[in-house]
Amino acid sequence: MSAGDARGRWSSMHAAVYPRAMNTPQAMASSRDSGWTARLELGFERRAARTELVHRRHIGPLVVQKALHPEGDSPCHAIVLHPPSGLVGGDSLALEVTVAAGAAALLTTPGASKWYRSLGATADSTTDLRVAPGAALEYLPREAIVYDGAEARADLRIELSGDARLMAWDVWCLGRTHAGERFDTGRLETRVLLRIEGREVLYERAVIDGGSELLRRSAALAGAPVYGTMLCVGPPPDAAELALCRALPVREGRGALTVLPRVLCARYLGHSSEAAHEWFTALWSRLRPMMLGRVAVPPRIWAV
């Protein structure tokens, strides 16, 4: 089975189970008055030398089917599934992840998330990540695609304690670029907050109105529909390692690295979510041994 067939089969199967998720006039109309609420809580702890998923609670269509250990005892891999695969106006998703002291976890998703066109109501997503001293979390989701006409709001909040380590990224695609769609109407609001030991070290808020001048300004998106941020917290790279990271090629678009106090920040801007994922993955592969003490083992779901 090809990758396209596998993804299509997965989407079709869950569309039959969750028909309200499809981007149909009926679905969008129903979103004016009501929406789906989904919440997933995950807790990881170290038991002896092994990280286990010890707490799993969900409400609505947001789940983890199984905890995996493809690298041995740690980290514990978890694939977060949202079976409808998209949000319409009025929907609300919440993901809460806690990694206890000494544990290590890696979270990803099986495919892109989608924010469908709305008739007025806003779809909300909140992600809260908490990492205890001596613990490590890798939060590596696939891209988020914001359809023309979507009303979307997404918050990513990260709390690190002590010497907790983090590798996380976020990639946004404005419009279905493969279909030639542009983000001409609608609104996207995103917020990213990173706290270390209770101190705010990074806060970013972006408000992008469909068709606005911000999409075209050279000081903003410069006409590029895809942008992303990667945050790494851990032992900082030395000058030689940083130079090697900056030399990693970007297949399409532009990439840049900035060293902040305790944080290495990478940015992507371009026209390809695949290129963004490839570049962030190359950086992750390069930095993971130094920051987390492990060679890079890409999640198998990325190859599907």
Which distant-in-sequence residues (6+ apart) come within 8 Å of 131 by Cβ? 99, 137, 158, 159, 160, 161, 164, 165, 166
What does the pLDDT read at residue 134? 97
CA 140 – CA 189 distance, rounded (Å) = 20
Euclidean distance between CA atoms 18 and 84, whole angstroms = 6
Q: What's the mean pLDDT in 246-274?
A: 96
In angstroms, the CA 42 to CA 232 distance is 21
> For the whole model, what pTM was predicted?
0.88
**CB-based burial, 7-20: b 16+ in 10 Å, e otherwise:** beebbeebbeebeb
Phi-psi map region of 211: left, alpha, beta (phi>0 left; psi -120 to 50 alpha): left
In the chain, what is the greatest distance between 2 CA atoms, to the nearest angstrom? 56
Specify whether the CB–CB gap between 172 and 139 falls below 8 A. Answer: no
Does the pLDDT value for residue 1 go beyond 90?
no
Residue 168 in contact with residue 139, Cβ under 8 Å? yes
Of 150, 144, 214, 140, give the one whose Cα is nearest residue 187: 150
Provide φ and ψ at 21, rounded to 5°. -80, -15
Q: Grade residue 25 by pLDDT with cuts at 50, 70 and 90.
A: very low
Examine the pLDDT at 30 and tell me if it is beyond 60.
no
State the pLDDT confidence band at 32, using cuts at 50, 70 and 90.
very low
Compute the C-alpha angle 189/249/243, nearest 5°. 95
Question: Of 120 and 85, which is predicted with more confidence?
Answer: 120
Sign of the dihedral through C-alpha 249, 189, 15, 178: negative
HSE toward the beta carbon, residue 299, CA cutoff 13 A: 25
Phi, psi (rounded to 5 degrees) for 64:
-120, 125
**Where are any strands of DSSP class E within 100-198?**
104-108, 113-115, 123-131, 136-140, 144-146, 151-160, 165-174, 187-196
Q: Which of 1-5, 31-35, 49-53, 81-85 has the highest mean pLDDT?
A: 49-53
Per-residue model confidence (pLDDT) at position 31: 38
Least confident of 19-23, 38-42, 215-219, 285-289: 19-23
pLDDT in tens, 189-225: 999 999 999 999 999 999 999 999 989 998 889 999 9
Alpha helix segments (H runs only) across 31-135? none
pLDDT of residue 11: 32
Domain ranges of the chain: 3-303
Q: Determine the pLDDT at residue 34.
A: 62
Calculate the average pLDDT of the chain.
88
